[in-house]
Chains A and B, each alone.
Chain A
């Protein structure tokens, strides 16, 4: 079955750029039925959708983060990436990648990575 694995630095300095990658294995990243999302969870808090990308590179972002976020896909490597610029301590969170079905009237996030904790600190 499809497996997602996040990777990237666990510590980022304030004002710098957070960069994470999600490797997709066990299935194709190029399926038309799915998008590829990033979701974060600040310590002790709930879940926030950051945005998603299609295999063709179409992106949709949460307006609350849109000015700082870029999500991209590299189908040759079967992975997608997150960049979040100008980070502050409020960006400290557990970052998950997730497969998202979003076709017609149906949608859900059915496969999740285990998450990677990123701390913003000098």
Chain B
């Protein structure tokens, strides 16, 4: 089971919005989770079940989609949003797989 994320890098101006994509090789995947990893920090859960925000996550982050295509949208980029974003899926067994990540930075 493979996850692909695009783009590899997303450069946005402060206040600009953008969309990150995640595609699974397993069409039956019902949802993905999204994580944010700021430089030098551990990952932080952003979204689960594709569209549910984790506690404390600002509402400028939203998620949607169903297998095989999922998206994470940042409506208005803040300085603290500069990070790498990973999608994750679970397959039977269980086996958790992360995508290669999308790096979001300032234009």
Contact = CB atoms under 8 A, between A and B. Distances in A.
Contacts, number: 57
Contact of B96 (A49, A105, A113): A49
Interface residues of A, number: 23
Contacts of A109: 33, 35, 43, 45, 88, 96
Nearest to B33: A108
Interface residues of B, number: 23
Contacts of B30: 105
Interface of A is mostly: strand
B68 interface: no
Most buried by A among B42, B45, B48, B100: B42
A108 B45 contact: yes
A100 B94 CA distance: 12
